[in-house]
Structure formats: C-alpha cells, structure tokens
Structure 1
Amino acid sequence: MSDEGTRDVSTMSPAERIVSEAVGRLMEFWGFKRNMGRVWVVLHLSDEPLTSRDLRERLVLSSGSVSMTLNELQRWGVVKRVWVQGSRAEHFAAENSLWKMVSRVLRERELVEIHEAILAFEEGLRALADQTPRDDVERRRIAMQKERVEELLEVARLGRGLLEALVSTARVDATALAKLLLGSKE
C-alpha cells in the first residue's frame, strides 16, 4: 500500500470480472444501477477494505460514478466506510451477509409496492361496488371485473404474506402459492 492507503490495482482477475458483470446485470434487472452490483462484488471479493481510487482503477469508472455508487450502496446498507489504521484515505467494505441485503430490499421495495397494489385493488373494488349498472350487459361487466380484481387482490395478499414470512423468518411455506398456481380453492 502507498501512504495514501491505495495499492496498485489496475486490473481485476477473470473471476472478479465475470462475477461483477453477472451481479451488475442482476442488479440492473432488479431496477438498480449496474455499477452498484459491480462495485459491491469487487468489495465483497476483496480480502481487505478498498478506497474509491482502488474501485475506480479496477472497474475503470470515473471518480463521480464511484462516489455516487458508493453513496447509494451505503444508503442501502450494503457498503460501509471503514477505518484503516495509518491511512488518511476513506476505505469501504461490503456487507457480506447476503440474506441481510436481500431482506432489506424485499422489505423496503417489494413489500411497499405490494402494499400499494393492495390498496389500489381495494379502491378498485369499492369503485366497482359504487357503480349502478344501467342494464344486464353492464351488470355482467361489473361482476366480471369485480371477480378479476378480487383475484388480483388475492394474489397480492398472498405475495405480501410470502414476502413477510420470508423477510421475518428466512423461510416460506409455499402451500398457498402452490394451491393458487394449481387452481385448487381448498
């Protein structure tokens, strides 16, 4: 290491490159920025905390990109600043508990979205109940829509229950999901 707390790291190993790109693609698929996954992997696979300069050099990213990515990763609780004795540079380390990271995302993103969907489906059912059909055609349309919105509500509530169970216990009983998928109404 140099006196600024950085070391010569101009390239990544083939494994780091492959894994960081794979996690970057997954992160992008889940609606995050690709570089969030790439930066986290480099930190996760490192045996020591790294500086933003280390990350810039390994990933060939700009200072601004690394800085913004590290800030975002810290906000999600998946990267933390660490103190390295004898160095003035800021160092970063990854949260290495995969379950802790996944459960936080599920709790803060997916459960919120499912909750919002449930509220919207309930509001939609109320709006359907408030409609006064003018004729049999409209009565059948309202009944069909009510049935379909109730199905959406049932799936959303099931999803919420599965996610809540997964987040709180790290286990899920998928019996209700299997019944739903197999069409059983027991």
Structure 2
Amino acid sequence: MTENTDQARTLPAAVERFVLHWGDLGSQWGVNRSVAQIHALLYLSERPLTADEIAGTLGIARSNVSTSMRELLGWNLIRRVPVMNERRDHFAAETDLWEMVTRIAAGRKEREIDPAIAALRACIAEADGDPRVGAVAQRRLRAMLDFTETMERWYGQMLSVPRGTLAKLIRLGGQIVRYLPAKSEP
C-alpha cells in the first residue's frame, strides 16, 4: 500500500498485515502487487466494495484499481455484485478457498503449462530432424515433456476427485505411500 490519502480508510492491523503480505506473495508469484492487495482486501471484506472504496482504502490510484480489477475478473477471482439503489459497480472476492485455488490453478495451467507443452513438442519435432541436436539434448527434452504431460494428466484427474477426498489425500501427505504397492525405485 502506498501513502494514505485523505479519503483512505484505516484497516485493522491484522487485515493490513494480510493485505501487505498477500501483495508481497503476489509479486513473488509474478502477480502485480496491487492486484494481489486488492484481491486480499476483497477476500477479507465483509461486504462488496466499490473501486473508489478500494482505491481509498489501499491508497492507490483509481486507474490502477480499474486495471487490477479487470485482471482479477479475468482470473474469475472476483465478481461484480449488484447493490440495491447503487449505480456504481461493487465487487466481491471468491471466498471458497478450494474454488479459489482451483481457478488459480486452471489459469496458471492455461497460461503457463499448456504453452510449455506446445513448445516442448515443437522443440522435439524440430530436434528429430536436426542431426546437430545430440542424443542427450533429445533425451532431456523428451523427459521434460513426459514429466510435464504426466503432471498435466495428474492435474486433470485431481479435478474429478471430490473435495473431501482430495482434502484427505492432501492431509495424508507422505503417509499415502503406505497404501501403494511396494516397488523399488529405478
């Protein structure tokens, strides 16, 4: 958050800490800090907020809020909420954590994993016809594609697992291996 303006609202310390921390995490994950801070504010908000309220609370430019809101709407992490007797748009965040994580994962897959798989396939096709590409490089390209496609298939399978079951699997962590048939690693 930047310097507060006269219209800025004071946040409780815990909320401000979360908003700032979420903004820092967003930056580390390649998300604009303002986008992450707006998401955090809406996530913790007890009611839908207008863009002006968000700008005032976070002390950021209204134009920055508009741009950030478009990005959050594109990720389907926030939605417009109609408010009786109000002409201005109000916004609320998705508050179901499973749904939020699912939407983020789907967006990342679409923007990062799918293009990576396409690029790896193109590299392999190109390498197959080029005698200058050594066996080691070809083997490593295929291994990377195989790994990425395996993770993509796993992701697709996990989408069909009921949330309760998925939560149990996650809580099991490394203990899950005791339920798998014993097999030595290569």
The 8 Å contact of residues 24 and 35 in structure 1, kept in 2 or not, is answered as yes
The 8 Å contact of residues 8 and 58 in structure 2, kept in 1 or not, is answered as no
1:9 CA drift (Å): 6.2
1:40 CA drift (Å): 1.5
Name structure 1 gaps, 5 residues minimum: 1-7, 133-137
Structure 1 residue aligned with 2:135? 143
Larger Rg: 1
What are the superposed Cα offsets for residues 125-168 of structure 1, whole Å, 9 maximum, x if unpaired? 33333234xxxxx7xx7222222222212211122123223344
Structure 1 residue aligned with 2:57? 58
Structure 2 residue aligned with 1:160? 152
Structure 1 residue aligned with 2:37? 38
Identity of aligned residues (%): 26
Q: Please identify runs of 4+ aligned residues in structure 1 that moved more than 6 A.
A: 172-175
**Aligned AA (1:184):** E
Give the TM-score, by structure 1 length: 0.74
C-alpha distance 99-84 of structure 1, shift in aligned 2 (>3 A): same
Structure 1 residue aligned with 2:68? 69
Aligned length: 165
Give the 3-state SS of the residue equivalent to 1:92 in structure 2: strand
Name structure 2 gaps, 5 residues minimum: 1-6, 178-183
Give the 3-state SS of the residue equivalent to 1:162 in structure 2: helix
1:116 CA drift (Å): 2.6
Question: RMSD value over aligned CA atoms?
Answer: 2.8
1:117 equivalenced with 2:116 (yes/no): yes
- 1:119-134 mapped onto 2 (5 Å cutoff): 119-132=118-131
C-alpha distance 80-128 of structure 1, shift in aligned 2 (>3 A): closer
Distance (whole Å) between structure 2 residues aligned to residue 126 and residue 76 of structure 1: 33
